[in-house]
Amino acid sequence: MTTKAKNKKNKLATVLIVLAVILFAVAIVAAIVASRSNTNYRDMESYINLTEAQAIDRAEDGGLAYRIVERDGESYMVTEDYSENRVNFTIAEDHVTKAEIY
């Protein structure tokens, strides 16, 4: 085999390896996205039993504002304005017990 043929074969092998790595990376990203239990950020039941930090992260990931309206039995004063893009959390012992949009 000539040097030119070997170089061509090596380039082809390199391209195939790069393509395989890219496909593998795409498969990993797809698996991560598919493994999310629920990507409907407006499903209020999906917040129940999350820690406060997890619930806040989830709301923010979904582009939603949030506020804590009650913590460990103590209700907070909140405005009465309606916002369909804000989740209102009730927290007990650092876990969400209620999540509502109002």
Reported as a single tens digit per residue, the pLDDT across 48-66 is 999 999 999 999 999 999 9
pTM over 0.75: no
Backbone CA torsion sign across 20, 26, 32, 36: negative
What is the pLDDT at residue 33?
Answer: 67
**Is residue 5 classed exposed, middle or buried when 0-12, 13-18 and 19+ CB atoms within 10 A define those classes?**
exposed
Q: How many CB atoms lie within 10 A of CB 83?
A: 13
